[in-house]
Amino acid sequence: QVQLVESGGGLVQAGGSLRVSCAASGRTFSHFAMGWFCQGPGSEREFVAAISGNGVITFYADSAKGRFTISRDNAKDTVYLQMNSLKPEDTAVYYCAARWDWTTTYAYTRPSDYNYWGQGTQVTVSP
C-alpha cells in the first residue's frame, strides 16, 4: 500500500512555470514506478510523464517533451513534475500514480499500469 498526496497546483499565466509534487507514504518508495497524468474537463486521463524507481528511466508524452521534467527524490519519498512554458491547453487536474516494481528499472505510460492514485491537483493556465 502507498498513499499519494499531490500539491503545488495553481493558476499561472501562459509561458510561466509551475512545479507539482507528490508525496508518498507507505512502502519503500524506491520500489514504486511513478507517473503523472492529467485530465481536462470532459476528457480522459492522459499520460504526461513517468519515471522508474531508480530515477534512471523516464518517458514523456509528446506534448510534454522539452517543456516538462519528471524527477524524484527517494530520500524524501517525493516525485516532482516541473512544468515550463505552460500553455492554456495544459489546464487540467494533474494526478500522480504509483505501481510497485521490485526491479526499480521500469517506467509505465498507461493509466491501467498503475495501482495507486493521488487525489489530484488543479493546474490552470490563463492566456
Q: What is the pLDDT of residue 29?
A: 94
Q: What is the pLDDT of residue 26?
A: 80
Tell me which amino acid residue 103 is: T
Q: Find the distance separating the first CA and the last CA of the chain, reported in whole Å.
A: 40
pLDDT tens digits along 50-98: 999 999 999 999 999 999 999 999 999 999 999 999 999 999 999 999 9
Q: The C-alpha cell of 67 is what?
A: 517543456
Strands, E assignment, 1-120:
2-7, 10-13, 18-26, 32-39, 46-51, 58-60, 68-73, 78-83, 92-100, 116-117
Q: What share of the chain is helix, strand, coil (3-state, %, to 5)?
A: 5, 50, 40
CA dihedral 42→47→4→83, nearest 10 degrees, is -100
Q: Averaged over 23-50, what is the pLDDT? A: 94
pLDDT band, residue 27 (cuts 50/70/90): confident
Average model confidence (pLDDT) for the chain? 96
pLDDT band, residue 1 (cuts 50/70/90): confident
